[in-house]
Structures are given as structure tokens and as C-alpha cells.
Amino acid sequence: MSVITLISDWFKNDFYIAATKGRILSLCPDQTIVDISHSITTFNTAQAAFVLRNAYPNFPAGTIHLIFVNTESSPDKPSLIVKAHEQFFIGTDNGIFSLILSDNHDKIIQINIEKRTSHSAIELFTKTACQLAKGAKMEELGEVIDTFNQKIPLRPTIENLTLTGSVIYIDSYNNAITNITKDLFEKIRQQRKFEIFIQSKHYKVSRISSFYHEVPVGELLALFNSVGLLEIAINNGNAAGLLNLDVNSSVRIVFSD
């Protein structure tokens, strides 16, 4: 049996998580279920995509990911199965697949709504997942389509010697993760000196750390994290709270000519 993962914007004290796991275990009792996150902000597909995009590469081939974020379907936002990187992703075509996978996918199936007995995403997604887990072919579960809805992620801008990015995620330690990649930073830097300005010019960092503990406790730092994105942090501190950072807050890097 394959692994089935869950990611949702449900509150943990609601019954939805237990109901979903119960249905999976009723349909395929020996299934392994893994919770990726149930703390996604309501309807926040970008946040869910960031979490899943950085989690799924660690799962084995054949894993089935159920995405319960903004699941209301419509004729232009159908329920899909997307196969990519030897794994399966089941969710609503609200743009989230493009944020998780870009365009790197093998096959897309629009789930056959004639097979649905209700409008419940829980019922549809769990049934589909267990059919896949039991060996059903994707083509048996719906119609092959060419593409999914596209949502363009927020990208850094480059003007002269200034690279401007945005905070895209606040992690459990209240570190602010930006959309500035290490590759882009190095491409523009070309051995130049630089200053990183956070929240306009209120806070400034002039070096990239390799570890949090390279600076004293309570001091501001910048580093490239395990997924290659620029992160603003405070050693043993709350960077997002103390610096008043949130998703979409600006981070600007000015390089010396």
C-alpha cells in the first residue's frame, strides 16, 4: 500500500481531519496516513503550495497527496489527479498545482464527476486516493486533460543593482522566508558587497550567515535555508513579530557598484 498525505486549511478541533482519516481507513484499512499540515491559513493556496512543494520530494514513489485547501469545485475549477515525479496529487484546480509543480507533470486527469455520490471533497478525494492505492489506473478515474489552471507566483524584481523580493512564508520559529533564491542572489552579486534592507530601511544586514548561531543571541541575521531561499531570522528570537514582518513584506538587497 502507498502513503496518503493530508494538507488542509481546517482547524484541528474540527471533525474534518478525523472524518477524512476514517473514510480512508474504511476504504483501504492498511493505508499509511501522514499529516503534512492542518495549519494553512483559510483559502491560502500559496501557503499550502509552499509547504507541500518543500515536503513532497521527501516521500517515496507512489505517495498520494490530498490537498484540502479551497476545495470548492466548479466547471472551470474541477477536481484533478496530477501525476508528477512518480507521485500523485489530488485537489481542486484553483491554481495550486501550478504553484506546487510549475509545469513539471506527467499526466492530468479530471476526475469523473459522474462517479461522485455527493459534493463532498472529502468523499471524492478519499475514494479516488484509495482507488489509486489499490492499483487503479488514472485513466479509469476520469478524463485525460492537457493542463491545469495557472497561478503566477510572486517573483523578485531586479532594477539596476537592487534586488527586491517579498516574504512568502513565516515558519514555526517566526523566521521570514523570502522568494529570493541563492542562485539569483549570486548571479546578481558577482562578488559585490551588499546590504539587505528589511521593512524599508528600518533594519539592515550586511552579510549572509551559514548558521543561526553565527551571531549572538537576539541579533538579526540573513541566511539561505535548506531549500535555497533567503531567510530573515533572529538567533533564538521572533524575527517576524519583532520586525513586524508578514507575507508580502518587502526585502531589498542593494549591491555596491
HSE at residue 256, side-chain half, CA atoms within 13 A, is: 6
- pLDDT tens digit string along 175-212? 999 999 999 999 999 989 999 999 766 789 999 999 99
pLDDT at 12 over 90: no
Architecture category of domain 157-255 in CATH: Beta Barrel (2.40)
| Domain boundaries defined on the chain | 3-145, 157-255
Residue 64 bridge partners (DSSP): 4, 88
Residue 63 bridge partners (DSSP): none
pLDDT at 113 over 90: no
HSE at residue 217, side-chain half, CA atoms within 13 A, is: 1
Residue 27 · residue 56 · CB < 8 Å: no
CATH, range 3-145: 3.40.50.10790
d(CA 115, CA 132): 15
